[in-house]
């Protein structure tokens, strides 16, 4: 049954939004539970499809998962499996994050090779080359990455051509159990990488340089689960997405439980566009500040403007007075949302890696298809500001990374509802259940 979101645009919004725990922090943290047997506890974890996929993968490897009130408990004492099957990897590329911990703890791992995805080919060569530098032997067979390190891993110097987030995370997790010292140059500095490093430190790892592009990891023989429950850091991409609302529709909102320090660049750019944003501890207030001004921006690794907010700010800039320019530097296909925005009346031209957005345009409601997670959020923002009704299909993407989006928006006054497409009862040989 196909679900879709039905949104009637034009309603002003006001109120508070509680920011959920970060998807891109909880995924590596769950993978890190494979590094040492025992009981791990997490709070402020987000109820997301991707979290469920990672928990299913840990379960497949032999871990036990339980929810006790607000605490998510993972017990990896009985983990013995070393395979991440294609069925799970195809659903979530971040499954590759179990590779480093498995080969570090068990000396072996068999992980399905992730394919491309709607935003790009997404290679994992940095992950594999880094593991080879640490002494692992890697072969690719029948679509699987076979990794062996019978004598264990040993420290090495690793240099990334690009500060890859999950490659940094994977290799940090491998290096904490390697013999000797590992250095990672041109490492990613995202807050989610720092969060993982702090978890590993709480497990007994010795890591220097967290938050910089140069990490030094002194390997230990063994680690143990953090002594206390870990609270997942707030999701800066979810927060940044909602911060854009006052640029699209009359809205006065307050984000609760946000970490403004992780959003410095997006907040600066939104202020430049004309939004009034005030930070008050872990609360961020946002409202419109008059005419929206166009922007020239380019996505970059942290602390630059995040690629994961590129689609969302494009929706916002359709309302700006004049020409805006967005250059996407991380992923070669991350403009799929342009085609759907055009169907809503947006005036956007794409030339290679740069999109030119002419505004202001009053978007019209339409039936649109979300192609990836952040494109889904972009279309929700566009629909909230459009004239009339928008139906957004492809909700499996949205549910991967936004906890209860329609509930959070409805609480602000949005007209948004999740519906099911009820096709005709039956149509000849192709009725439901015919598999036609």
Residue numbers annotated as active site: 117
Residues 338, 317 contacting (CB under 8 angstroms): no
Name which of 31 and 288 has its Cβ closer to ligand EPZ.
31
Query: What is the C-alpha to C-alpha distance for residues 207 and 217, in angstroms, rounded to an integer?
Result: 5
Binding site for ligand EPZ (CB under 6 A): 23-24, 27, 94, 120, 122-127, 162, 164-167, 307-308, 330-331, 373-374, 401
C-alpha 289 chain-centroid distance: 29
What backbone torsions phi and psi does residue 234 show, to the nearest 5 degrees? Answer: -65, 155
Coil vs helix vs strand at 136: coil
Query: What is the C-alpha to C-alpha distance for residues 179 and 220, in angstroms, rounded to an integer?
Result: 7
Query: What minimum distance in Å lies between the beta carbon of 126 and ligand EPZ?
Result: 3
User: Which one-letter DSSP state was computed for residue 355?
Assistant: E
Name which of 242 and 331 has its Cβ closer to ligand EPZ.
331
Query: What minimum distance in Å lies between the beta carbon of 162 and ligand EPZ?
Result: 4
Name which of 29 and 288 has its Cβ closer to ligand EPZ.
29
Name which of 4 and 402 has its Cβ closer to ligand EPZ.
402
Structure tokens, 84:
């991440």
In sequence order, the β-bridge partners of residue 65 are 74
Query: What is the C-alpha to C-alpha distance for residues 274 and 270, in angstroms, rounded to an integer?
Result: 6
What sign results for the dihedral spanned by CA atoms 369, 117, 329, 28? positive
Nearest C-alpha neighbor of 168 from the set 155, 185, 146: 185
Name which of 133 and 374 has its Cβ closer to ligand EPZ.
374
Query: What minimum distance in Å lies between the beta carbon of 29 and ligand EPZ?
Result: 11
Query: What minimum distance in Å lies between the beta carbon of 50 and ligand EPZ?
Result: 8
Residues 221, 257 contacting (CB under 8 angstroms): no
Query: What minimum distance in Å lies between the beta carbon of 224 and ligand EPZ?
Result: 25
Name which of 95 and 385 has its Cβ closer to ligand EPZ.
95
Query: What minimum distance in Å lies between the beta carbon of 267 and ligand EPZ?
Result: 18
Residues 134, 182 contacting (CB under 8 angstroms): yes
- Residue 80: cis peptide before it, omega within 30 degrees of 0: no
Query: What is the C-alpha to C-alpha distance for residues 273 and 259, in angstroms, rounded to an integer?
Result: 21
């Amino acid at each position: 049954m196909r679900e879709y979101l039905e949104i009637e645009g034009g309603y002003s919004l006001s109120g508070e939004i509680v920011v959920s725990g970060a998807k891109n922090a909880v995924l590596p943290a769950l993978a890190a539970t494979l590094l040492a047997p025992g009981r791990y506890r997490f709070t402020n974890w987000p109820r997301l499809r991707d979290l469920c996929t990672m928990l299913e993968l840990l379960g497949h490897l032999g871990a036990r998962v339980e929810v006790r009130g607000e605490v998510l408990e993972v017990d990896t004492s009985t983990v013995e499996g070393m395979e991440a099957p294609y069925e799970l990897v195809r659903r979530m590329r971040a499954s590759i994050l179990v590779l480093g911990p498995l080969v570090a703890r068990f000396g072996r791992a068999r992980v399905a090779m992730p394919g491309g995805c709607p935003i790009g080919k997404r290679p994992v060569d940095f992950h594999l080359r880094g593991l080879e530098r640490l002494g692992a032997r890697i072969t690719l067979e029948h679509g699987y990455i076979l990794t062996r390190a019978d004598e264990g891993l040993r420290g090495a110097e690793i240099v990334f051509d690009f500060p890859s987030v999950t490659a940094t995370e994977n290799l940090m997790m491998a290096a904490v159990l390697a013999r000797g010292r590992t250095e990672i140059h041109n490492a990613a500095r995202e807050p989610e990488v720092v969060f993982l490093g702090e978890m590993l430190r709480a497990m007994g790892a010795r890591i220097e340089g967290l938050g910089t592009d140069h990490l030094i990891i002194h390997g230990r023989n063994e680690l143990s689960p953090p002594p206390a429950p870990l609270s997942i850091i707030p999701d800066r991409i979810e927060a940044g997405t909602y911060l854009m609302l006052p640029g699209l529709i009359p809205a006065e909102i307050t984000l609760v439980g946000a970490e403004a320090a992780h959003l410095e660049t997006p907040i600066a750019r939104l202020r430049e566009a004309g939004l009034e944003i005030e930070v008050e501890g872990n609360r961020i207030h946002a409202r419109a500040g008059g005419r929206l001004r166009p922007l020239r921006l380019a996505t970059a690794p942290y602390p630059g403007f995040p690629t994961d907010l590129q689609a969302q700010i494009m929706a916002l800039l359709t309302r700006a007075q004049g020409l805006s320019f967005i250059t996407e530097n991380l992923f070669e296909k991350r403009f799929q949302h342009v085609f759907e925005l055009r169907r809503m009346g947006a005036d956007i031209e794409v030339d290679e890696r740069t999109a030119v957005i002419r505004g202001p345009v009053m978007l019209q409601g339409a039936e649109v298809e979300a192609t990836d997670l952040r494109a889904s959020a972009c279309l929700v923002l566009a629909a909230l500001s459009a004239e009339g009704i928008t139906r957004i299909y492809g909700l499996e993407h949205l549910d991967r990374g936004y906890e209860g989006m329609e509930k959070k928006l409805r609480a602000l006054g949005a007209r948004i509802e999740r519906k099911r497409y009820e096709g005709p009862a039956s149509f000849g040989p192709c009725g439901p259940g015919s598999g036609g």
